[in-house]
Structure 1
Amino acid sequence: MQLPKGYLIAIGGAEDKGEEDKLRVKKLDFFEQGILRQIVELVGKKGIPKIELITTATSFPDEIAQIYKKAFKKLGIEQIGHLKLTSREDGDYKKNLERLEKSNCILFSGGDQLRLSSILGGTAFIEMVKEKYMDDHFVIAGTSAGAAAMSNTMICGGNADRAYMKGEVELNIGFGLIQSVIIDTHFDARGRFGRLVQAIAAQPAAIGIGLDEDTAVLIEKGTKLKAIGSSSVVVVDGSNVKRNNIADVHGGEPISISNLQVHVMARGDMFHLQSREFTAANHHLQESRTPT
């Protein structure tokens, strides 16, 4: 099976953009440890970064593009384009495809993931994105809606307060850049653990990934997840589920599921999708302190 040569960076939203906000508590150094810096360093390993911003998901494309251009310029990146794809015709337009071909990184902004997938899903643009991801050192970043749409199954809505009731979580088809994964964003800030649990109850073979704000997973070779950013990543593994009543209860009734495995990843921790193994960033240190 061919593994992708490119990288995915799925971001939980509200990533540090180097803005001077006295009310914001800076947890990491934007210029040294921030998520956007990680993107720049990863792309820069193969030449000068040529980044295209994709703002299809948002209703404020120009404003969002300017924020990202300003943030990347603070990191020394000048070659930043803005592909304003607002229709399916835009996704098949030759000049847009030519710009995509010349880029080595794209970033999908936040907004509405259903809008993003319904406009670009199945277009020549997304097909080229998949080809470049498989064949080249190509970096695909997505924040919030842009992260949720990366997987083959995506969460596109749901009431967090009623997430343990059957039918309160909406699933749809994403871009399929990564298989057997369901990604949720703004995870802690919006209390979304319950809706990720219901999504995994519906598809227990998948791995659920809950991304807190200003936090991301860097996915290498389509299988290796590394947590980056200032907060936590929650991984929900349903492969060993014993009881699961979601197929038996009616809509609006509570779900019952047992033996879910949950991991919480901090910066530098790793999770392997195929083996379902978790590796802590400081595991060597922990092992050295184990009593003999």
Structure 2
Amino acid sequence: MRLKLKYLQLIIVAAQLLLLLNPVNAQKGSLFIIGGGERSPELIRSLIKTADLNAKDYMIVLPMSSGEPEASFQAIKKQLASVAKNNIGCLNFDASTVNDKKWLDSLTGAKLIFITGGDQNRFMNVVLNTPVYKAIHFAYQNGATVAGTSAGAAVMSKQMITGKQLMDTVYKETFNKLWTDNIEFEEGMGLLENVIIDQHFLKRSRYNRLISALSAYPTYSCIGIDEGTAIIVHHKKITVAGVSQVLQISEPKNLKVVDKKLIKMDDIRFSFYTSGDQFTLK
């Protein structure tokens, strides 16, 4: 069993190296990133259309973010099954199963991978530095659609917003300060490079949090996705779907930090998008 698992890991690593050497073929899949909240039937249909499932393709749900993984799985399974007849499986990985060859084979072969909401830190604590992380990347690079909602949206970034503040340590749904060094990041899935995702954006008024993220990574694009809304990412092209809006902020001008760690800047690129709009990442 160990030799077979080692062989699978070597195949994944070799494929990743080939994709790095030939970036034209990299990232054949898509990302479908939902800002949380209610998912309309139209949004689920858009997800299934993006995944472009054939009759033999199947879907895998990863519920590790959730404190109630079975309930999270059943909720998204019901919605997916209402649109597509393909098989839907659930892989609730933990420390005892992250090296399970059968589970990893199922994950790498999925055409749609869906990461549920909950706590993004809980998800990454299970996945980071394991074959599960590599398997998700392998599937994505070979044509799978990786989708996520709420916490499942946050994990898409390399620099992942955890939701915690480092200085104003009392939890709030939004930040009420614009301080440098206040926002906590941890390593996410890195399916998006040079992009930071925030979710429940308009519903929870997370402008201060996203501006704080931009001040920490001023060369990045920071994208806030509202509830019931998604961005569909294919290569550098983004399409908006859903009932609300998406905000992108980037390119701060003359960004500075003054006394008491206060952030200031002269200008910022600030864009709102609605369903059907498209924009391109740098």
Q: Give the TM-score of the pair, scaled to structure 2.
A: 0.84
The aligned residue for residue 9 of structure 2 is none
1:68 shift after superposition: 1.1
The aligned residue for residue 228 of structure 1 is 241
Q: Where does 1:89-238 land on structure 2 (aligned, <5 Å)?
A: 89-134=96-141, 136-158=142-164, 159=172, 160-221=174-235, 223-238=236-251
**Contact 1:11-1:147 at 8 Å conserved across structures:** yes
Q: Which amino acid aligns with 1:41?
A: K
**Contact 1:88-1:123 at 8 Å conserved across structures:** no
Where structure 1 has 5 or more consecutive residues not aligned to the other structure, the ranges are 18-29, 275-292
Q: Quick one: which of 23, 30, 50 aligns to 1:42? A: 50
1:45 shift after superposition: 4.8
Identity of aligned residues (%): 29
SS of corresponding position for 1:125: helix
Q: Quick one: which of 247, 250, 263 aligns to 2:271? A: 263
Moved more, 166-175 or 101-110: 166-175
Where structure 2 has 5 or more consecutive residues not aligned to the other structure, the ranges are 1-22, 165-171
Structure with the higher helix share, 1 or 2: 2
The answer as to 2:70 corresponding to 1:62 is yes
**Contact 1:187-1:213 at 8 Å conserved across structures:** yes
Q: In 1, Cα distance between the equivalents of 2:185 and 2:102? A: 33
Q: In 2, Cα distance between the equivalents of 1:75 and 1:121? A: 32
The aligned residue for residue 245 of structure 1 is 256
1:46 shift after superposition: 4.4
1:249 shift after superposition: 4.5
Q: Quick one: which of 72, 76, 90 aligns to 1:82? A: 90
Q: In 1, Cα distance between the equivalents of 2:280 and 2:109? A: 31
Q: In 2, Cα distance between the equivalents of 1:163 and 1:127? A: 37
Change (3 A) 1:224 1:185: same
Aligned-residue CA RMSD (Å) = 1.7
1:234 shift after superposition: 0.2
The aligned residue for residue 71 of structure 1 is 79
Cα-to-partner distance string for 1:227-283 (whole Å, 9 max, x where unaligned) = 111110000112xx222224x554xx4321231101101111111112xxxxxxxxx
Cα-to-partner distance string for 1:19-38 (whole Å, 9 max, x where unaligned) = xxxxxxxxxxx2xxx22111
Aligned length: 251
1:117 shift after superposition: 1.1
The aligned residue for residue 289 of structure 1 is none
SS of corresponding position for 1:228: strand
**Contact 1:43-1:49 at 8 Å conserved across structures:** no
